[in-house]
Structure 1
Amino acid sequence: MPLAVNMLNIEGLERLDPNAPVVMLNLMRFHARSRDGNGSGWDAYLRYSAITVPMIRARGGTLLWTGEAKAVALGPHQGNQWDFVALVTYPTVAAFLDMMTSEAYETQADPHRRNACAEHVIIATSEAYSKFKTK
């Protein structure tokens, strides 16, 4: 089974409404050096983003917001030293799964993600409140 698919919580995602919109909270910690030796972890992440953003858009999704994680403001510091945060909306959970399980993601994008990230957590969220209209 491909690595990205193997890491997906398919069971958890299948408990969600496949036709409901979803915002994915991405938490990333980068390697100092890309695992392939081609620049920094950040450089590898930029290569990953250049490939995945068109994949997200092709499925009706949008990159809503990205930013540097600066400091833990509340909660345990241990294990929460993230470098970067991204919010990505997808029109449906099924659209997210379609991208993550696609051959193009596995062969073109995921190698850059693995080279970039020492750790990458994606949390599926549903909207409770937003001052931004996502769809």
Structure 2
Amino acid sequence: MAVDPTGAGLKRFLAEDPGGPVVMLNLLRFREGGEKSYARYSKVVGETILPRYGAEVLYYGKGSTALVAEDGREWDAVLLVRYPSREVFAQMVADPDFQAVAHFRTEALTDAVLQATAQVGG
């Protein structure tokens, strides 16, 4: 399963940019023991990298009871991160400091969804 953005995916992400801020939805499924590796990644990214880019974590929570999900399709965690723009997100992903810790995220996960969202209405 895919857990990291690809070059082609980032190009499409930027080409479809409606402008303005973007909230990225992260659905995370950890491999056994992966929470520890993800915590290392989150600490560095949350304390040093996100602030540098004007981004902020809006919500991080553990998955709980799934009311609608096929067996095995429950998510271990949900994360919402707001970025000033899609371009800023792409710049952050290319940042050498981000690249230096991204492997902790990759090692932590067996499956992930990383999806841009667009606010509906007001």
Measured in 2, the distance between the counterparts of 1:18 and 1:46 equals 32
Say what the alpha-carbon RMSD is for the aligned residues. 2.2
Match of 1:88 among 81, 85, 101: 81
**Identical columns (%):** 29
Whether the 8 Å contact between 2:4 and 2:106 is mirrored in structure 1 is no
Unmatched runs of 5 consecutive residues or more in structure 1:
33-39, 131-135
1:19 Cα deviation from its structure 2 partner: 4.2
TM-score, normalised relative to structure 1: 0.77
- Whether 2:103 is the aligned partner of 1:103: answer no
* Equivalent AA in structure 2 for residue 10 of structure 1: L
In structure 1, distance between residues paired with 2:28 and 2:61: 11
Q: Which has the higher contact order (CA 8 A, sep 6+)?
A: 2
| Count of equivalent residues | 119
Which consecutive unaligned segments of at least 5 residues does structure 2 have? Answer: none
Instruction: Tell me: CA distance 1:126–1:113, structure 2 relative to 1, closer, same or farther (3 Å).
Output: same
The answer (yes or no) to whether the contact 1:67–1:86 under 8 Å persists in 2 is yes
Note the C-alpha offset of 1:44: 0.4
CA distance in 1, matches of 2:8, 2:28: 16
TM-score normalised over the length of structure 2: 0.84
Shift of residue 101, structure 1, vs aligned partner: 1.8
Deviation at 1:66, TM superposition (A): 0.7
Q: Deviations over 1:53-102 (max 9, x none)?
A: 1211110011000111113322x414522100000000111111111122
Verify the 8 A CA contact 1:5 1:101 in the aligned structure 2. no
Deviations 1:21-62 (A, max 9, x none): 000000100011xxxxxxx21110100001111211110011
For 1:1-135, list aligned pairs within 5 A: 4=4, 6=6, 9-17=9-17, 19-32=19-32, 40-53=33-46, 54-74=48-68, 76-78=69-71, 80-106=73-99, 108-128=100-120
